[in-house]
A and B are shown apart, each in its own frame.
Chain A
Amino acid sequence: MGSILLVAEIQKGAIREASRELVTFAQKLGGDVHSLVIGSGVESLAADFAKKGGGKVYVCDDPALAGYNVDGWAKAIRAAADASGADVILISNTPSGWDVAPRVAAGLEAAFVSDAFDAKEGPVFTRRVFNGKLDAEVVPAGGKVVATVQPGAVAAFEGSTEGSTEKLSVDLSTLRAKFVETKVAEAKGVDLTKAEIIVSGGRGVGAPEKFPEVVKPLADALGGAMGASRPVVDAGWLPHEYQVGSSGQVVTPKLYIACGISGAIQHLVGMKGSNFIIAINKDADAPIFEVAQLGVVGDLFEIVPKLTEAVKAAKG
């Protein structure tokens, strides 16, 4: 493999962990590493990344890039791709990464691989399809490759390396999309992060009234809180503050009971750090069973109400 360009991201004033994971991911492919750091006033972060596996780091530093701007990022990545002659461009599958990467791929007429969690020389990329129910191996036909990489899929590179930085000048005079502001998450009425026990219901719960009838009673019996997967919130069955996952709350209770939740990656990142996970799902192949310690293949409507009664009885 020739040369690889990593697009780093800054979060809370530092190079984010997902970007350091790209360094590890690049090592799987093998090749000469270059990176790109985009932002305003980011030169010292770029210099730092050069010493942490970023290789030759291009810096696109401009006040117009203080907030994420898809047009600006696409231009910067194109310029860095040209400057580095990269055959493979790796970008984290984050809200900025998934927004810009396909656009760059189309502009370069490159092969595009989305949300890869593994790779080997070839290159061959592995990714999830059908919301985690199946895996796929994908191979580029030749030519340039743009791939997004699933955050958390590999460990962040922790070594120290020799590297260098180089300024990249990019014409940013014609940005059409305009960044206005970032709004931080509002304080939640339900703070699931403090709950010791969470009983969550997913789309498999089937109807809004089943939450107070089936899921909540078990949470109450255990003295815990109720949570939910995203489709439950999207359908308006429960407010957003109950949502567990990448776009909801990240929880680490002592016990997490997932009822009728398939286990898509965006849900898993929100709960896989729980101390103990019980999953109840009627599909024996549901990916949730891979992160659970205890699994029951069955109808939640048969199990959960009985479990609620048994818990109440045990508590006396």
Chain B
Amino acid sequence: MKILVCLKQVPHQDARLDVNADGSWIKEDGIKFEINSYDTFALEEALRIKDADSGSEVVVASIGPDRVTQALRTALGMGADRAVHVKDAAVEGSDSLGIARVLAAVAKEVGPDLVLMGLMSDDSNASAVPPMLAELLGIPHATAVVKVDREGSGYRVERELEGGALEVVDLPLPCLLAVQTGLNQVRYASLKGIMAAKKKPIDVKTAEDLGLAGAVGAAAAKVRIQKIYQPPKGDGAEMISGSPDEVVAKLVGKIKELGLL
């Protein structure tokens, strides 16, 4: 089984988010980055398939600037076999379809039986790239996957619906699964794994290498962010301040007023 895992590196969930000067995105300098939370579950699932079938190969791919090397090293440390890093200023400013095009070109070179991705990226919250990539590759897909089982020559997966309901779907291979968080318990990279990762290859590619010069990037994007901003403050909450004791006294007063104490 050859598995391609697409990872995005995103601002750390606790990073301070300041809008940049032209209001097009956040200021990225000086903040920490991490692997998109959803994608860690995708990687873990791939590694579990490999643990059960040692003939498998797990290839991780990520599009982004230099800092992405760190995310790929982490993935290799966790047990992925090799990495593809698409690093090219010409890809920056791509919309989801542009990203899907780049990943499709990578996937065509890798030739996976299974593509594992995250349901959504924690920064752009688009939930767009996986179904787009499946369409470009001409393979079936499922999103919000919370359970993956081998069934016949394909996979039987459970998709999460609203309120805890599930949808069971059978997919033939090759197929693409975009996973929901909580699908498994994600491992940490062991010291041994991190040492071994140093010898694993990271193949760096440009849009041109992938035959996509001019087809991706800001100029080819079908949609762009015009402005990003702090959500306007509505009526909002009455904010209470003071020392912890003062705050607590006010909270108790309110709970009493509600007749709940």
A is bound by B: yes
Q: Spell out A's residues near B (CB within 8 Å).
A: 67-68, 70-71, 74, 94-95, 98-103, 105-107, 109-115, 124, 127-141, 143, 145, 176-186, 196-197, 203, 222, 230-231, 233-234, 236, 240, 246-250, 254-255, 275-279, 284-285, 287, 289-290, 292-298, 302-303, 306-307, 310-311, 314-315
Residues of B within 8 A of A233 (CB): 182
B-chain residues with CB within 8 Å of residue A132 when the two chains form the complex: 231
- Inter-subunit contact B165/A290 (CB<8 Å): no
A222-B165 in contact given A99-B144, A295-B240 (Cβ < 8 Å): no
Q: Are A296 and B123 in contact (CB under 8 A)?
A: no
B129 at the interface (CB under 8 A from A): yes
- A248→B181 CA distance, assembly (Å): 13
Report yes or no: A290 in contact with B172, Cβ–Cβ below 8 A: no
Q: Which residues of A contact B238 (CB under 8 A)?
A: 293-295
What DSSP secondary structure best describes chain A's contact surface?
mixed
Contact of A95 among B37, B160, B181, B230 (CB under 8 A): B160
B30 within 8 Å of A (CB atoms): no
Partner of B132, one of A102, A183, A255: A102
Contact of B97 among A106, A181, A183, A276 (CB under 8 A): A106
B165 contact from A114, A179, A185, A276, Cβ within 8 A: A185
Residues of chain A within 8 A (CB-CB) of B131 are 70, 99-103, 106
Q: B residues within 8 A CB of A128?
A: 125, 231
- With A105-B132, A114-B126 already in contact, the answer to whether A298 and B141 are too (CB < 8 A) is no
B-side residues, CB < 8 A to A, are: 11, 13, 17, 19, 26, 37, 95-97, 100, 122-132, 134-136, 139-144, 156, 158-172, 175, 180-182, 185, 221-234, 236-241, 244-245, 247-249, 251-252, 254-256, 258, 260-261
Known: A115-B125, A183-B168, A230-B181. A70 touches B141 (CB 8 A): yes
Q: For residue B175, which residues in chain A have a CB less than 8 angstroms away from its CB? A: 176
23 A-B interface contacts by CB (under 8 A): A106-B136, A112-B126, A114-B96, A135-B230, A138-B225, A139-B223, A141-B223, A143-B222, A178-B171, A182-B161, A182-B167, A185-B163, A222-B255, A248-B164, A255-B260, A278-B251, A278-B254, A289-B239, A290-B233, A294-B238, A295-B240, A310-B249, A310-B252
Query: Which A residue sits closest to B141, measured CB to CB?
Result: A70
**Interfacial chain A residues near B239, Cβ < 8 Å:** 284, 289, 295-297
Task: Provide the bound-state CA to CA distance between A80 and B131, in Å.
Answer: 19
- State the Cβ distance, B169 to closest chain A Cβ, in Å: 6
Instruction: Report yes or no: B252 in contact with A136, Cβ–Cβ below 8 A.
Output: no
Task: State how many angstroms separate the Cβ of A127 from the closest Cβ of chain B.
Answer: 8
In the bound complex, do residue B261 and residue A311 qualify as a contact, i.e. CB atoms below 8 Å apart? yes
Residues from chain B with a CB closer than 8 A to the CB of A177 are 140-142, 169-171
Alpha-carbon distance between A135 and B19 when the two chains are bound, in angstroms = 11
Q: Which residues of B contact A111 (CB under 8 A)?
A: 95, 222-223
Question: How far does the alpha carbon of A246 sit from the alpha carbon of B144 in the complex, in Å?
Answer: 13
User: Provided the pairs A99-B144, A289-B236, A295-B238 are in contact, do residues A129 and B123 lie with their beta carbons within 8 angstroms?
Assistant: yes
B167 and A179 contacting across the interface, CB-CB below 8 Å: yes
Residues of B within 8 A of A68 (CB): 167
Residues A240 and B17 in contact, CB atoms below 8 Å apart: no
Chain A, Cβ-Cβ closest to B101: A106
Which among A131, A181, A247, A254 has the greatest number of chain B C-beta atoms within 10 A? A247
- 7 new A-B contacts, CB < 8 A, other than A132-B231, A294-B240, are A68-B167, A98-B144, A106-B100, A112-B97, A138-B225, A176-B140, A182-B161
What CA separation (Å) do A133 and B230 show in the bound complex? 7
Is the Cβ of B241 less than 8 Å from the Cβ of A134?
no
A288 CA / B231 CA spacing, docked (Å)? 12
Q: Please, which residues of chain A bring their CB within 8 A of the CB of B181?
A: 230-231, 234
CB distance from A7 to the nearest CB of B (A): 14
Q: Is A203 a contact partner of B223 (Cβ separation < 8 A)?
A: no
Of all chain B residues, the one with the shortest Cβ separation from A132 is B231
Q: How far is the CB of A19 from chain B (nearest CB, A)?
A: 14
* Nearest-neighbor residue (CB-CB) of A302 within chain B: B244
- Residue ID in chain B nearest A203 by CB atoms: B13
- Assembled-state Cα–Cα distance A285/B237 (Å): 11
The winner among B26, B128, B227 for most chain A CB atoms within 10 A is B128
| Known contacts A114-B125, A178-B170, A285-B230: A138-B224 contact under CB 8 Å | yes
* B-side contacts of A106, CB under 8 Å: 97, 100, 131-132, 135-136
Partner of A315, one of B141, B144, B261: B261
Which residues of chain A are near B226, meaning CB under 8 Å? Answer: 124, 137-139
With A98-B143, A130-B17 known to touch, is A115 a contact of B165 (CB < 8 Å)? no
